[in-house]
Amino acid sequence: MAVNENLRTPIVSVMGHVDHGKTSLLDRIRGSAVADGEAGAITQHIGATEVPIDNIVNKCGDPSLKDKFIVPGLLFIDTPGHHAFTSLRSRGGALADLAIVIVDVNEGFMPQTIESLHILKRFKTPFVVVANKIDRIHGWEANKNLPFLATYNKQSERVKSDLDNKLYELIGELYNIGFNSERYDRVNDFQRNIGVIPISAATGEGIADVLMILLGLAQRFLEGNLHYDATAPGTGTVLEVKEEKGLGTTLDIILYDGTIKKGDTIVVGSLGDPIQTKIRALLKPRPLSEIKAEEKFQQVSEVTAAVGVKISAPNLEGALAGSPVRVVSTDTIDAITEEIKSE
């Protein structure tokens, strides 16, 4: 079994309380994979980061793993502000296939952690909990980029028991919300138990474990849901509505099904009637090394799900983050506009 061409990349949302390390975790996944010079480049998307399966497998140090997995990689989304995410989620739970809930292990659960968990519960989204900032535990000896158990076994007994206690607290909090959980290496059945993965986004400890567990979840829970139709009209969700110099108002979207092309007519949700407009340009970020302020983006003629992309088009001023964006034809424009309006 190797990568299956008909499966799209699963979308993984990174959620959690402010400052608990969402962006740092993604930086680490991005940065270390690039720095390691591994096969298959990390692709920067608008609002998302794509990590190909090769990078993940190399990171885990066992090339035979590649034959076990059928997804092409993972597309991570750094959730933009909790409010937008709630409305993203409420669009039929279509956006995130999997999620990471990140919690500062020293601070424990905070309001946004709990809210994230309730959202995931409501939409039955498979997820893992990442207990971040283990390097801040008093006396922790950092072992850069080591898998969790390897670094844990090098710690003193006092540090180990300190971490164990903090994890018990998280496990207790999860139980109160209705989730059975365990440290991830003790979970036999991820369908019944949520895995809690201790990591440090600062030192890279435990990152390989996060990637492996996510692939395992994708494999087990999503295989049947990830089939997509590249020939279908594009369907996506607006992550952000942004002013860009020289382009005016643009949409950053995540396309989760079908194909979207330059020149396509799209319908987008707004506060009033849905906006109907024609795509002037589809833009992707240039590779990081090439970024100059005036030419941050590269034009592409079409993209296929799952992908993060920027849309430039007239009349986007009233567009709403979290709303759907759909490619339409003369036959479907009225029905789809009505559908979006009533959502």
Q: Minimum distance between the CB of residue 132 and ligand GTP, rounded to whole angstroms?
A: 5
- Write down the least CB distance from residue 82 to ligand GTP, Å: 8
Which partner, Mg ion, ligand GTP, none, binds residue 200 by CB below 5 to 8 Å per kind? ligand GTP
CA distance 16 to 35: 26
**Number of residues assigned to the chain:** 343
Burial of 205 (0-12, 13-18, 19+ CB in 10 A): buried
DSSP class of residue 54? H
Q: Does the protein bind Mg ion through residue 180 (CB under 5 A)? A: no
For position 146 contacting ligand GTP by CB under 6 A, the verdict is: no
23 is in an annotated binding site: yes
Query: How far from chain centre, in Å, is Cα 200?
Result: 18
Contacting range for Mg ion; rule: CB under 5 A; set: 14-22, 133-141, 210-218, 245-253: 14-22
Residue where the block lists tokens 């088009």: 313
- Pair 12, 98: CB distance under 8 Å: yes
Which residues lie across from 99 on neighbouring strands?
Answer: 13, 127
DSSP string, 52-84: EHHHHHHHTT-GGGGGG--S-EEEEEE---HHH
Nearer to ligand GTP, 199 or 327 (CB): 199
The least CB distance from residue 198 to ligand GTP, in Å, is 10
Task: Residue 274: name its binding partner from Mg ion, ligand GTP, none (Cβ under 5 to 8 Å by kind).
Answer: none
Of the residues 9, 116, 125, 132, which one makes contact with ligand GTP according to CB under 6 A: 132
Tokens 């956006």 found at: 95
**Using CB under 5 A, which of the segments 18-26, 35-43, 166-174, 202-210 binds Mg ion?**
18-26
Which residue number, 43 or 200, has a Cβ lying nearer to ligand GTP?
A: 200
Using CB under 5 A as the binding rule, whether residue 23 contacts Mg ion is answered as yes
- Name the closest residue to Mg ion (Cβ): 23
Plot region of 4 (φ>0 → left; ψ -120 to 50 → alpha; else → beta): beta
CB of 196 to ligand GTP, least distance (A): 15
265 marked as part of a ligand binding site? no
322 binds ligand GTP (CB under 6 A): no
- We find the least distance from the C-beta atom of residue 207 to ligand GTP, in angstroms, to be 10
Judge contact between 286 and 201, C-beta under 8 A: no
DSSP line for 228-285: --TTSBPEEEEEEEEEETTTEEEEEEEEEESEEETT-EEEE-BSSSPEEEE--EEEEE
306/24 Cα distance (integer angstroms)? 23
Q: Return left, alpha or beta for 68; rule: phi > 0 is left, psi -120 to 50 is alpha, else beta.
A: alpha
Nearer to ligand GTP, 17 or 45 (CB): 17
Of 58, 200, 237, 323, the residue at the interface with ligand GTP (CB under 6 A) is: 200
CA distance 248 to 321: 16
The answer to whether 80 is a known ligand-binding residue is yes
Question: What, of Mg ion, ligand GTP, none, does residue 135 touch, CB below 5 to 8 Å by kind?
Answer: ligand GTP
Per CB under 5 A, the list member of 8, 17, 20, 22 interacting with Mg ion is: 22
Q: Which of residues 4-23 bind ligand GTP (CB under 6 A)?
A: 16, 18-23
Cβ-based neighbours of 330, under 8 Å, separated by 6 or more:
none
Collect all residues with Cβ–Cβ distance below 8 Å to 186 and sequence separation of at least 6. none
83 annotated to bind ligand? no
Strands 73-78 and 11-16: parallel
Question: Which of Mg ion, ligand GTP, none binds 202 (CB below 5-8 Å, type-dependent)?
Answer: ligand GTP
Tokens 């109907």 sit on residue = 276
**Of the candidate residues 48, 56, 95, 201, the single one contacting ligand GTP (CB under 6 A):** 201
Tokens coding 157 = 């007994």
Q: Which residues are annotated as a binding site?
A: 16-23, 78-82, 132-135
Give residues in contact with Mg ion (CB under 5 A).
22-23
- Can you give the binding site for ligand GTP, defined by CB under 6 A? 16, 18-24, 132-133, 135-136, 200-202
Residues making up the annotated binding site for GTP are 16-23, 78-82, 132-135
